[in-house]
Amino acid sequence: MSEPQDAVIVRGDPHRAAITALEAAGIPFLVGGAYAMQAHLGVIFREVKDLDLFLRKQHVEAALEALRGAGYGTELTFPHWLGKAWVGDEFIDVIFSSGNGVVSVDDEWFLHAKATELFGVQVLLCPPEEGIWARAFVMERERYDGADVAHMLRSCSGTLDWERLVARFGPHWRVLFAHLVLFGFIYPSERDRVPRWVMERFAAQILEESASVPPEDRVCQGTLLSRAQFLIDVQRWGYADARLQPRGTLTGEQAEIWTSAIDEKEAVRPVAASVGGARGAGTARAAAQRGAASSERR
């Protein structure tokens, strides 16, 4: 962890200063989070607390170095998806994947990004398709991004590349289908904003699956939706964790670090063997402490 340098180095708005620092270093990035939501929805709907910057993984180290040089404290909080920078009470999230390891930032994010002006600076926004993809998996007890998904579908449905959105979810298409079904429940008068062919395709896939023999592989994919609420499945009930290699992208140590940072107030975890085993326990505890400290600062 790198502590902040003299705060006077960060002049003016810390969010603007972070953007200009990365631009000066020639590091490609996208603006996401609440700033992108406001641009896509065309309305300020909640207070912006943090600045979310999305980068390709290979640029994260250089980005954190550039932010350190601009006076921010930095850390690679979770090595499989998230770094942080801060000065005072202002935070910058440097994001290159997702906690479950599914939603990685690749070239397609940049290919379909839209330009806008933020803080008087020209920036690129995360595409709405990727914004929906990233939020669709967030279903924790303490945080559920389904409302953001519904709002983005409502506001962006006419301009969405639906084929590309469906392709983004790939084998996890049921997650998108669930949100689309809920969209029709949330907005009965707006349900035709979802193209009929999308719903028909997913409905046909449901029927095809229901007519086939279920897989013998006992895997719980709930861990892709919540790192806390399905621990009992993988720790006591004998299900394989869908996040872990070779089914997913995470190593046992990465999953243990991510799991150990769960806020104890929000989780009831069974007493059982750790997800990643003893190998990652020390690292996991350290990351949990960093995550707790970061939460207190925020």
Per-residue pLDDT tens digits for 279-296: 344 444 444 444 444 444
From residue 46, alpha-carbon distances to 146, 148, 216 in Å are 15, 11, 45
Q: What is the pLDDT of residue 1?
A: 76
80 and 29 in a single domain? The answer is: yes
113 and 10 in a single domain? The answer is: yes
**Using CA atoms, how far apart are residues 178 and 221, in angstroms rounded to an integer?**
14
Residue 264, pLDDT above cutoff 90: no
163 and 227 in a single domain? The answer is: no
1 and 105 in a single domain? The answer is: yes
139 and 253 in a single domain? The answer is: no
**Out of 6-15, 28-37, 63-72, 197-206, which region has the weakest mean confidence (pLDDT)?**
6-15
Residue 205 corresponds to which tokens in the numbers above? Answer: 């896939």
174 and 111 in a single domain? The answer is: no
120 and 132 in a single domain? The answer is: no
Cross-strand pairs, 240:
219
Confidence of residue 267 (pLDDT cuts 50, 70, 90): low
167, 205 contact by CB (below 8 A): no
**Using CA atoms, how far apart are residues 155 and 160, in angstroms rounded to an integer?**
10
229 and 163 in a single domain? The answer is: no
Confidence of residue 211 (pLDDT cuts 50, 70, 90): very high
Of 195, 212, 229, the last residue of a domain is: 212
279, 273 contact by CB (below 8 A): no
**Out of 74-83, 85-94, 178-187, 219-228, which region has the weakest mean confidence (pLDDT)?**
85-94
Q: What is the pLDDT of residue 266?
A: 54
Helix (H) or strand (E) holding 122: strand 121-125
Q: What is the pLDDT of residue 6?
A: 46
**3-class secondary-structure state, position 164:** helix
Q: What is the pLDDT of residue 74?
A: 97
158 and 107 in a single domain? The answer is: no
Residue 88, pLDDT above cutoff 80: yes
**3-class secondary-structure state, position 200:** helix
Contacts of 148 by beta carbon, 8 Å cutoff, 6+ apart: 37, 131, 135
**Using CA atoms, how far apart are residues 56 and 264, in angstroms rounded to an integer?**
31
Residue 257, pLDDT above cutoff 80: yes
233 and 270 in a single domain? The answer is: yes
274 and 192 in a single domain? The answer is: no
Q: How many domains does the chain have?
A: 3
Q: What is the pLDDT of residue 271?
A: 42
- Tens digits of residue pLDDT in 103-161: 999 999 999 999 999 988 899 999 999 999 999 999 999 999 999 999 999 999 999 99
224, 172 contact by CB (below 8 A): yes
Residue 184: give the domain boundaries: 128-212
Query: Percent of the chain having pLDDT more than 90?
Result: 76
Of 101, 126, 151, the last residue of a domain is: 126
100, 169 contact by CB (below 8 A): no
Confidence of residue 42 (pLDDT cuts 50, 70, 90): confident
255 and 281 in a single domain? The answer is: yes
Q: What is the pLDDT of residue 80?
A: 97
Q: What is the pLDDT of residue 288?
A: 46
